Chains A and B, each alone.
Chain A
Amino acid sequence: MKRYLVSSFIFFLFLCGAILLIYSRCIQIQNDHLQQHLFTEQAAIRSSIHTYSLLAQAINDEVIQTEQVLKLVHDITNSHGKEQNILRGQLYRLLDPVYQRLRGKQVRQLHFHFPDSRSMLRFHAPSRSDDSLVAVRPSVVRANTDHEIVNGFESGRIFHGFRHVYPLSYQGEHIGSVEISTSFYQIRNEFKHLSEDGLNTLNNSNKSQLAFLLYRPEMWNKLFDDLHTFYQTTPLHPDYIIERADLISSLCSEKISESPLVDRVQQKLSHSSEVARKLKQHRSFAVAVNLRGTTYTVVFHSVQNTLKQHAAYIMSVTPEPFIATIRNDGILMGVLATVLLTVILLYRFRFLAADENEKRQALFLSNISDNLGTALYTTNHEGTITFTNTAMEVLLGYQQKEMLGRNAHELFHQPQDTDDHSPCICEEVLRTNTTIRSDAYYFVDRTGALFPVEVVCSPLRDHKQTIGTATIFQDISKRREQEEQLQQAQQELISANASLKNLASHDGLTGVYNRRSFDEQVERLWRSAARHKQPLALLMVDIDHFKRYNDLFGHLQGDECLRRVAQTLQKACKRPEDFVARYGGEEFAILLPLTGHDDSEHVAQRIQAQIGSLAIEHPGNEKNQRITLSIGCCTCLPDGGETVQDFIFAADQCLYRAKEEGRNTICCCRLQGDEQES
């Protein structure tokens, strides 16, 4: 969650930065454009003012500077009372037709002044005269004191305009001054002509609409009191007022159309602190304003009076599609930046989700690996450990940070036969690119103790490329110990089994096969001989007068005697396949496979000879005083006509005959069909 918040915060920062950048860029372009617009309009206004300055100069030269006018002004100046009034009326009568024509030429005021700067005759307000203009009209004072032409804007008691004041003299005598003024509205009209001709072609826009904002502190106190009602405060700022159209129309019959657009723009800008601030600075500036979906350039041209003080603003409002385009482009760029950053954020979220999933999986795998109970580690191509689990730390006694980055082989691998030159199992896996399983390795723990491990080392693949190895191993010391114990137990069991088997098949006293083994063996050898058409011999051996021997020497001695006889019989039968068994009591049976009649007789003789060589004293054998044997020998080539019982019976009969014949005797026969050959 924290990473999501951080990402969102960074996204927000970037978004804010991008929007700020775009916004500042748009504002910069817009300001440059507004500045250019401002300069262009200022040039147009200066040109308009200059045009009227030339017109005023021409009027002064052609109309005022005539003998008739100058003389009349001179007479007015030098007369008094009613005479002066009549002369003034004559001046009015003389120039009113001219003034009416000049009104058609956009001249607003024609105003004569006395040398002491009192009003002599206002053609625009002829009933008002003789008032001193000293306090309100510096331009008039200058013209009458310095006798110089003064041009510039100046407010007045009735009208405010761009003044052109010319000093008048008649026959070398200063007789006052005359003022030819144009109002803002004439400048506006001229400006409009210029705009239509070139300015707006440059700006690629429609006609400008202008308003004249008078700076109240500069002009309010100059006004005749009864004219205050003809002014209204602009919504823009309380310090700025405008002349109402009916003032102009009622006093000088100029038809001034009010501009609802300018009013709406003023209303809109009245909420702008930036405009209010700049208006207070009295400098020219331009702003853009959006009104009902249309963008306008609003330029405020600062107008200074003849004393170089701020006196008014000419406000122009011009539709400005270029700024709208800039704004639209800015909005578009902002939207694109937002979309782009949002896409990046979404990708970041996806990445975080995937990363978290990966971490969860890693944690899951780590938990699994840590709880495996089996040590796990991975190496890179160089055999450097890149991952270990907890079990490995437990087994080896190292902490994970001690192992990571170290070579596994050098750290804890121990070659199989403690041969340092044996290859590392990891290297083997990387070389063969196959999994190696072994329990023949030994690892060394932190203390240097060696312990056997069962290890499975597999190649670690990233896609199709082998990037290292993954090895799991576990300590098999206990298992190995258990295996050894088990092996030992197994050996003992085998030994016990062998002993039991021996006990089951051998006679406990003599160590030769017992009667049960004999029964099994005789059946088997019988069938083999019958199958392979090979001869089989059976020797039935009985110790002569053995009962007497027991009686004489006791059973222990008797047993010893039996053991020695059995050993002798075993020795006498030299072939491995020869089978010696204790048939019962002091009677033994010997099976001789692949042995014919003669050979079996020869074995019997050898047995007797070896027994004889033992020279076991037997006083009960009255004839020989030693232990002797009676042997019945039967040979047979089984062909299906006789049975194994017949075979045993025949051998037993031979033994019986040998005993009958005085003991220590060998009696042999051949069993063949129903016949028995001795």
Chain B
Amino acid sequence: MFRILLALFIFLPLSSVFAASPSSTLRFSPLPMLSEHLVKEQFLSFCSSLSELTCQNVSLIYKKDYQDLLKALHNDELDLAYLGPLPYVMARKTDPDIIPVVRFLDKHQKATYTCSLVTFGHNHPNLDADYPTIALTQPYSTCGYLVTESLLSPYQHSLNDCPYTYVGDHEQAALAVIRGDAALAGVKTTIARRYENLGLTILDESAPLPGFLLVANRRTLDPATIDQLRSDLLSLNHAFSADQKEKPEWGKMIRYGMIEAHDEDYDAIRALLTRFPVPEILP
């Protein structure tokens, strides 16, 4: 009798706790642009906010590369993801249930960014008789093959003809040019400007491109939940620090605010992709 009472004594409070807690877990994974530790640090607080907004537990899942992340989305192993423009377009192309939720603003409250074709000093591709060596970030990077190919076209160069290499990220691509390992590189304009102190020169800059976004998996989340999440996230803009206009505890890539994202925002990417298909990520 005593054991039954003891079990009831323990079980009843616990059951009330479970009843009050979120009923399921949202699975969220960001694009692996940094080490696992830094990625988790950037997004941990964001996940907490998501959990508060949805009244559900949010699990932060780290995927080692872009393909793994897209595959997980496709296999319904993820409910939410933080994607770059090109990965989003690639994912959406094969899976229409991946829908955009919000786009993130940059430090200057812009929802777009540009890519640049860079060289060292006074070099000019047109002046180079040989095919220049070109440094690219990685296949799924918008500033990588896709935009670089589009920026090379005015100079009568194509990545189909020039030797190019993926060096991993924007910084390495810029340094490859400074070191002389490559004559040209396609990098994010903000990165290119950062290395101007070493003689890095921007030859050309792309049109504004939509930035990183949060996507939802419509197969695992009902539309009402997604709409509610979008609405809640956008309402957070007002809660951001008035003077800094940022949410300091969130990662640098996402702390400056959000706007509503639409699939058509990424039509420019789709157009580029149609014109300049990336060989490494062809379906």
Interface segment among B64-72, B75-83, B132-140, B173-181: the answer is B173-181
Distance A129 CA – B252 CA, assembled complex (angstroms):
22
Q: How far in angstroms is the closest Cβ of chain A from B119?
A: 11
Q: Specify the chain A residue showing the minimal Cβ separation from B199.
A: A89
Q: Across the interface, do B35 and A93 meet the contact criterion of CB distance under 8 Å?
A: no
B196 within 8 A of A: yes
With A92-B179, A93-B180, A250-B38 known as contacts, the answer to whether A127 contacts B171 (CB < 8 A) is yes
Q: Specify the chain A residue showing the minimal Cβ separation from B35.
A: A246
Residue in A87, A90, A92, A244 whose Cβ sees the most chain B Cβ within 10 Å:
A92
With A86-B121, A93-B180 known as contacts, the answer to whether A250 contacts B198 (CB < 8 A) is no
Mask, A117-155, CB within 8 Å of B = 1, is 000010000110110000000000000000000000000
Within 8 A of A (CB), among B168-218: 171, 174-175, 178-180, 194-200
Chain B residues positioned under 8 Å from A249 (CB to CB): 35
Residue in A85, A89, A226 whose Cβ sees the most chain B Cβ within 10 Å:
A89
Chain B residues positioned under 8 Å from A129 (CB to CB): 197-198
Chain A residues positioned under 8 Å from B174 (CB to CB): 127
Residue in B37, B41, B179, B197 whose Cβ sees the most chain A Cβ within 10 Å:
B197
Q: Specify the chain A residue showing the minimal Cβ separation from B251.
A: A229
**Majority secondary structure, B binding face:** helix
Chain B residues positioned under 8 Å from A88 (CB to CB): 197-199
Mask, A67-102, CB within 8 Å of B = 1, is 000000000000000100111111011001000000
Distance A334 CA – B279 CA, assembled complex (angstroms):
77
Distance A655 CA – B200 CA, assembled complex (angstroms):
200
B122 within 8 A of A: yes
Chain B residues positioned under 8 Å from A121 (CB to CB): 198
Q: Across the interface, do A127 and B198 meet the contact criterion of CB distance under 8 Å?
A: yes
Q: How far in angstroms is the closest Cβ of chain A from B235?
A: 27
Q: Across the interface, do B120 and A226 meet the contact criterion of CB distance under 8 Å?
A: no
With A126-B178, A226-B252 known as contacts, the answer to whether A90 contacts B38 (CB < 8 A) is no
Chain B residues positioned under 8 Å from A92 (CB to CB): 178-179, 198
Distance A86 CA – B201 CA, assembled complex (angstroms):
9
With A86-B122, A89-B178, A93-B180 known as contacts, the answer to whether A126 contacts B37 (CB < 8 A) is no
Chain B residues positioned under 8 Å from A127 (CB to CB): 171, 174, 194-195, 197-198
Residue in A88, A96, A127 whose Cβ sees the most chain B Cβ within 10 Å:
A127
Distance A129 CA – B199 CA, assembled complex (angstroms):
12
- For this complex, into which size category does the number of interface residues on chain A fall? 20 to 34
Within 8 A of A (CB), among B147-174: 171, 174
Q: How far in angstroms is the closest Cβ of chain B from A183?
A: 19
Chain B residues positioned under 8 Å from A86 (CB to CB): 120-122, 199
Q: Across the interface, do A96 and B179 meet the contact criterion of CB distance under 8 Å?
A: yes
Q: Across the interface, do A93 and B179 meet the contact criterion of CB distance under 8 Å?
A: yes
Q: Specify the chain A residue showing the minimal Cβ separation from B122.
A: A86
Q: Across the interface, do B38 and A126 meet the contact criterion of CB distance under 8 Å?
A: no
Q: Specify the chain A residue showing the minimal Cβ separation from B191.
A: A127
Distance A246 CA – B200 CA, assembled complex (angstroms):
27
Total A-B residue contacts, Cβ distance less than 8 Å? 54
Residue in B122, B178, B180, B196 whose Cβ sees the most chain A Cβ within 10 Å:
B178
Chain A residues positioned under 8 Å from B121 (CB to CB): 86, 89
Distance A676 CA – B143 CA, assembled complex (angstroms):
197
Partner of B175, one of A87, A126, A229: A126
Q: Across the interface, do B37 and A246 meet the contact criterion of CB distance under 8 Å?
A: yes
Q: Specify the chain B residue showing the minimal Cβ separation from A230.
A: B38
Distance A129 CA – B178 CA, assembled complex (angstroms):
15
Chain A residues positioned under 8 Å from B195 (CB to CB): 126-127
Distance A246 CA – B195 CA, assembled complex (angstroms):
23
Q: Specify the chain A residue showing the minimal Cβ separation from B174.
A: A127
Within 8 A of A (CB), among B27-59: 34-35, 37-38, 41
Q: Specify the chain B residue showing the minimal Cβ separation from A126.
A: B198
Q: How far in angstroms is the closest Cβ of chain A from B74?
A: 30
Partner of B199, one of A82, A130, A246, A250: A82
Partner of A85, one of B34, B180, B196: B196
Q: Across the interface, do A246 and B38 meet the contact criterion of CB distance under 8 Å?
A: yes
Q: How far in angstroms is the closest Cβ of chain A from B216?
A: 28
Q: How far in angstroms is the closest Cβ of chain B from A81?
A: 10
Q: How far in angstroms is the closest Cβ of chain B from A73?
A: 14
Distance A428 CA – B35 CA, assembled complex (angstroms):
113
Distance A226 CA – B251 CA, assembled complex (angstroms):
11
Distance A250 CA – B34 CA, assembled complex (angstroms):
9
Distance A87 CA – B122 CA, assembled complex (angstroms):
12
Q: Across the interface, do B198 and A89 meet the contact criterion of CB distance under 8 Å?
A: yes
Q: Across the interface, do A93 and B37 meet the contact criterion of CB distance under 8 Å?
A: no
Q: How far in angstroms is the closest Cβ of chain B from A68?
A: 15
Distance A85 CA – B193 CA, assembled complex (angstroms):
12
Chain A residues positioned under 8 Å from B198 (CB to CB): 85, 88-89, 92, 121, 126-127, 129
Distance A86 CA – B119 CA, assembled complex (angstroms):
11
Q: How far in angstroms is the closest Cβ of chain A from B18?
A: 32
Q: How far in angstroms is the closest Cβ of chain A from B247?
A: 15
Chain A residues positioned under 8 Å from B194 (CB to CB): 127
Q: How far in angstroms is the closest Cβ of chain A from B194?
A: 4
Chain A residues positioned under 8 Å from B34 (CB to CB): 250
Chain B residues positioned under 8 Å from A82 (CB to CB): 199
Distance A90 CA – B198 CA, assembled complex (angstroms):
8
Distance A583 CA – B196 CA, assembled complex (angstroms):
186
Q: Across the interface, do B197 and A90 meet the contact criterion of CB distance under 8 Å?
A: no
Chain A residues positioned under 8 Å from B175 (CB to CB): 126
Distance A96 CA – B175 CA, assembled complex (angstroms):
10
Chain A residues positioned under 8 Å from B122 (CB to CB): 86
Q: How far in angstroms is the closest Cβ of chain A from B241?
A: 15
Chain A residues positioned under 8 Å from B196 (CB to CB): 85
Chain A residues positioned under 8 Å from B178 (CB to CB): 89, 92-93, 126
Q: Across the interface, do A85 and B197 meet the contact criterion of CB distance under 8 Å?
A: yes
Q: Across the interface, do A130 and B35 meet the contact criterion of CB distance under 8 Å?
A: no
Q: Across the interface, do A250 and B197 meet the contact criterion of CB distance under 8 Å?
A: no
Q: How far in angstroms is the closest Cβ of chain A from B133?
A: 15
Within 8 A of B (CB), among A224-260: 226, 229, 244, 246, 249-250
Distance A130 CA – B198 CA, assembled complex (angstroms):
11
Q: Specify the chain A residue showing the minimal Cβ separation from B200.
A: A89
Distance A244 CA – B35 CA, assembled complex (angstroms):
12
Q: Across the interface, do B37 and A85 meet the contact criterion of CB distance under 8 Å?
A: no
Distance A469 CA – B68 CA, assembled complex (angstroms):
112
Chain A residues positioned under 8 Å from B41 (CB to CB): 229
Q: Across the interface, do B197 and A130 meet the contact criterion of CB distance under 8 Å?
A: yes
Chain B residues positioned under 8 Å from A85 (CB to CB): 196-200
Chain B residues positioned under 8 Å from A126 (CB to CB): 175, 178, 195, 197-198
Q: Specify the chain A residue showing the minimal Cβ separation from B36.
A: A246
Chain B residues positioned under 8 Å from A229 (CB to CB): 41
Distance A226 CA – B252 CA, assembled complex (angstroms):
9
Chain A residues positioned under 8 Å from B179 (CB to CB): 92-93, 96
Q: Specify the chain A residue showing the minimal Cβ separation from B42.
A: A229
Q: Across the interface, do A90 and B199 meet the contact criterion of CB distance under 8 Å?
A: yes
Within 8 A of B (CB), among A244-293: 244, 246, 249-250
Within 8 A of B (CB), among A281-319: none
Distance A90 CA – B200 CA, assembled complex (angstroms):
11
Within 8 A of B (CB), among A509-542: none
Q: How far in angstroms is the closest Cβ of chain B from A106?
A: 22
Distance A143 CA – B122 CA, assembled complex (angstroms):
34
Distance A126 CA – B177 CA, assembled complex (angstroms):
13
Distance A85 CA – B178 CA, assembled complex (angstroms):
11
User: 16 pairs across A/B with beta carbons < 8 Å?
Assistant: A82-B199, A85-B196, A87-B199, A88-B197, A88-B199, A89-B120, A89-B121, A92-B179, A93-B180, A126-B178, A126-B195, A126-B197, A127-B171, A127-B195, A129-B198, A246-B35
Query: Knowing that A249-B35, A250-B34 are A-B contacts, what are 15 other residue pairs whose CB atoms are under 8 Å apart, sorted by A's residue number?
Result: A86-B122, A88-B199, A89-B120, A89-B198, A89-B200, A90-B199, A93-B120, A126-B198, A127-B174, A129-B197, A130-B197, A244-B37, A246-B35, A250-B35, A250-B38
> Which 9 residue pairs are nearest across A and B when measured between Cβ atoms?
A89-B199, A86-B199, A89-B198, A86-B121, A127-B194, A85-B199, A129-B197, A246-B37, A89-B178
* Residues of B that sit less than 8 Å from A by CB: 34-35, 37-38, 41, 120-122, 171, 174-175, 178-180, 194-200, 252
